[in-house]
Chains A and B, each alone.
Chain A
Amino acid sequence: MNGSDAVPNPVAGPVAGPVAEIRGLVKEHGQGQGRVRAVDDVDLEVPRGQTLAVMGPSGCGKSTLLHLLGGLERPTRGEVWLAGRRVDTLSERALARLRRRSVGFVFQAFHLMEELTAAENVELPVLLAGRSPREARRRASLLLERVGLAARARHLPSRLSGGQRQRVAIARALANEPPIVLADEPTGNLDTAATLDVLRIFEDLRTAGQTLVIVTHDERVAATADRLVSMRDGMFVDDTRLTGSSSRGLGGLIEWES
């Protein structure tokens, strides 16, 4: 990845203290005897610039945690703070506006709009934020160049490989310079080469000070983070700081995979 100078630093902003914080968070699904506690009384702070990996077996509540952080689901109990604002009490409208400015999502299934080109997909959040089409085009062009897809800007998602699609999704997540990017199994559908491409981008983002929360099954991905939280049955069972290891981890991984 190169050419990131033209895009403002995503951490630049008024946020003081942790970018994301959750306190006593509980999320239950279902009712009566079928009630399941997906997230069970967890607390978490994500400081600015940190890359946090959340690992755990399927169904342990990782994705739910991410959805709660991004305001896509509402907690049963507890508080969610994002970019200095408490979000669990916000209306749907206010949440949407907050997401526009403060959160970028990356999904395992990419979730690109199939009828839009790569550039048009990246332009969309900029347009939704009320910026001009010209500004949207400019930002899409810069971000696609940053993820190495400038030559494929006019391609439809169906003509891109899985790794390329995920890179478009990452560019889209960064379109409005959010203080935090939430990635849900971003490499889950990718082969090794594409996984490395995505990890390189994440590494660049980490270096640039972008806050990242990555939910993953993949230990290789987790090894690139600053901090690793393990979940089981909706609870945090381990919280490890991988201080100073991430760059080496990624470098080592790249060397190992090569």
Chain B
Amino acid sequence: MGSFVLVVRLVLADVRRHRAQAAMLLLAVTVATATMALGLSLRGVSEALYEQTRAATAGPDVVALSGDTGPAVTSALASLADDPEVIAHHGPYRIVYADLTTHGSGRSPAVASGVVVHGFAETPGTVNRPLVTSGGWVRPGGAVVERGFAEALGIGVGDRVTIAGRSYLVVGIAVTAATSIYPWAAQIGPYGGPSDSSGLVWLTRSDARTLAGRDLPVTTAMDLKLRDPAAAEAFVEAFSDAHRDPAARVNLHTWQFMATQDTVILRNSQPILVVGSWLLGFLAVTGVAALAAGRAVEQTRRAGLLKAVGATPGLIATVLVTEYLALALVGDAVGLAIARLTVPGIASPTASRIGDAAGPGGATVAAATVLAVTVAVLSTLRPALRAMRTATVTALAAAAHQPRHRPLLTALSALLPTPLLLGLRLTARRPGRAVLQACSTATTVIATVALLTVYSQKERGYGLNGSSVLPNLRGELDRRLMLAVTILLIALAVVNTVTLTWTTAMEARANMAVARTLGATPGQIAAGLSAAQVLPALLGAMAGVPLGIGVCGLFSARNTIMPPVSWMLAAALVTLLVTAAFTALPARLAARRPVARALSAEAA
């Protein structure tokens, strides 16, 4: 108990002394775990929402669709309804494919879209009972608009819409599990042709019949409830084998198929978030490792002090690791909470489903926690081991790690102007830190290339003929997520750059003070410190472009349009300039520290 209290007190004291560093670790871990938890939480979320909607709307187990309307089709559908495995059915009912136009208002302009009209009874049956979320059910001259479609159109109960030239009053808003989410009401599926962007509207049977008489495409559908819903796939296979009549082609869609179709809208979101979380996790390790390296001397001295007063190596390691681990776990908890709050906003880009998106599950919590612990352990393992192994007297007199002599770089730097001479020599002093800076920059460029790739895709809008008057929800979600991940990556990379510059400046403060006594100006010192970060960043930016192309290639479809090379090179250049800009302030502050004080501190 005594040891526990001691560890807690030492950890708290250290956190209080280094609040900014603690905050940075917390921020880095929070961002990384939140993104990972969010990405992993999307797995299965569409299916969960579909299940909840299906339960609330008596969703069918199988929907039978036929492109024809003749007696052969009627006969085939009737035989389906009579199948012993079918315990209830709804239909056959008419489906009409038309155009819909809203009337617009001051707030929302008039828009046109493809529409799929289902002709339903005024009193819903036992199967496929759409859940009215606003207003009432269909009545003559009154249309019920599917909720996702209504939200995209910006209409509500009381508005009027025109379908195939005839005006209808919107009397209700509803959801159903019998079709895919907006904009895939046509049931052709998201991989279909240009007509796959359409919404769903219910009319009365007589209104649908009238509409069908206007020479519009019409199909017939029937919803089935099976004795064993889990065996829907087997039922479909058995039916397809038994009915191969070319005159009465009937396609059967199982509820599992529709649930899978729902996931298409999030198809790109998960890789964006999960790969993004890897990159964020990497930057978190980079930043925290830079911090830990910057504190190595102080931590070794602290370990020496603890040993001198009787602490065991085990206790010292516990104190060092506990501090980072505790902060990482707090960051993990905050990240998971953020993911829990954010999942609903991302999981359901359309309003076509009801229910709650479940937050991070056990596996997700475990994965995010492993990430947080990995960040903490990777960042502190080396300093902890060094503090444990260093002899007490040596630790008490700990000096900064002796940099290696690099004759080639030293000779090369002699040919360069003073800022580059100092910068290259600073880089050579701590090559590990230069690698971290290069990796941090490469990660930023990779994310920027991915962002440019996402924004380079030609997105068909959901309006008529691909008009973007109704935006492409999937594309918009991808862009928003990619932008958010990129902003987070850039923010962490900026923090890393500032940290790396500052720790470099602090470690080299004696050398820089000596350089000042030898005639280097503060401007040359500041430029040298900046150059020490910008030189490895240059390599990172150069590597980031091909790596970004490679990462995009791994997770993109074959027909993905890559952004022009000039854009990617411009992104690398801008990253480099931004890196230089963010090194300027810490470098300038460090360069203006009093020379005499730095030399006296070093001599002490």
Contacts and interface: CB of A to CB of B under 8 A. Distances in A.
Interface string B398-426: 00001111110011001100100100010
A83 to B, nearest CB: 13
A128 B425 CA distance: 13
Interface stretch (A112-120, A192-200, A228-236): A112-120
B520 interface: yes
B521 A93 contact: yes
Interface string A208-228: 000000000000000000000
B599 interface: yes
A13 B520 CA distance: 22
Contacts of B592: 92
B523 interface: yes
B406 A129 contact: no
Contact of B518 (A114, A128, A130): A128
B510 interface: yes
B405 A115 contact: yes
A242 interface: no
A133 B518 contact: no
A111 interface: yes
Contacts of B406: 115
Interface in A91-113: 92-93, 96-97, 99-101, 103, 105, 107-109, 111-113
B433 to A, nearest CB: 14
Contacts of B421: 127-128
A218 B448 CA distance: 63
B428 interface: yes
A117 B405 contact: yes
A109 B603 contact: yes
Contacts of A158: 402
Given A107-B599, A120-B410, A96 B594 contact: no
B477 interface: no
Interface stretch (A51-59, A67-75, A249-257): A67-75
A246 interface: no
A133 B403 contact: no
B595 interface: yes
A123 B407 CA distance: 13
A187 interface: no
A19 B574 CA distance: 50
B429 interface: yes
A156 to B, nearest CB: 6
Nearest to A111: B514
A97 B403 CA distance: 28
Contacts of B429: 115
A168 interface: no
Interface in B243-285: none
A124 interface: yes
B517 A72 contact: yes
A116 B594 contact: no
A96 B522 contact: yes
A92 B519 contact: no
B596 interface: yes
Given A133-B415, A156-B405, A176 B603 contact: no
A116 B523 contact: no
Consensus secondary structure, chain B interface: helix
Which of B421, B519, B603 counts the most A-chain CB atoms under 10 A from its CB? B519
Contacts of B425: 115-116
Nearest to A101: B519
Interface string B587-604: 000001011100110110
Interface string A118-145: 0010011101111001001000000000
Contacts of B407: 117
Contacts of A72: 516-517, 594-596, 599
Interface residues of A, number: 39
A172 interface: yes
B603 A92 contact: no
Contacts of A64: 596
Contacts of B88: none
Which of A120, A130, A156 counts the most B-chain CB atoms under 10 A from its CB? A120
Contacts of A124: 515, 518
A107 B404 CA distance: 23
Contacts of A101: 519
A96 B521 contact: yes
A123 B402 CA distance: 21
Contacts of A108: 603
B522 A92 contact: yes
Interface string B517-561: 111111110000000000000000000000000000000000000
A92 B521 contact: yes
B162 to A, nearest CB: 75
Which of A93, A113, A156 counts the most B-chain CB atoms under 10 A from its CB? A113
A109 B414 contact: no
A176 B596 contact: no
Interface in B409-453: 410-411, 414-415, 418, 421, 425, 428-429
B219 interface: no
A3 B595 CA distance: 34
Contacts of B523: 93
Nearest to B428: A115
Given A73-B594, A111-B602, A113-B511, A128 B405 contact: no
Contacts of A127: 414, 418, 421
Given A133-B414, A133-B415, A109 B602 contact: yes
A38 B522 CA distance: 25
A136 B414 contact: yes
Contacts of A100: 518-519
A112 B405 CA distance: 13
Contacts of B522: 92-93, 96
A114 B602 CA distance: 13
Nearest to B597: A73
A113 B515 CA distance: 9
B596 A99 contact: no
B519 A176 contact: yes
A64 B600 CA distance: 11
Nearest to A172: B518
B596 A128 contact: no
Contacts of A136: 414
Contacts of B519: 96-97, 99-101, 125, 128-129, 176
A28 B534 CA distance: 39
Contacts of B410: 115-116, 120
A105 B510 CA distance: 14
Given A67-B596, A72-B596, 15 more contacts: A72-B599, A73-B595, A93-B521, A97-B519, A108-B603, A111-B513, A111-B514, A113-B511, A114-B402, A127-B414, A127-B418, A127-B421, A129-B519, A133-B411, A156-B405
Give me the 6 closest cross-chain CB pairs, A-B, nearest first: A100-B519, A109-B603, A96-B521, A133-B414, A115-B403, A125-B518
Interface of B: 402-407, 410-411, 414-415, 418, 421, 425, 428-429, 510-511, 513-524, 592, 594-596, 599-600, 602-603
28 contacts: A67-B596, A72-B517, A73-B595, A92-B521, A92-B522, A92-B592, A96-B519, A97-B519, A99-B516, A99-B517, A105-B518, A109-B603, A111-B513, A111-B517, A111-B603, A113-B511, A113-B514, A115-B406, A115-B425, A116-B405, A120-B410, A127-B418, A127-B421, A128-B515, A128-B518, A128-B519, A133-B414, A172-B518
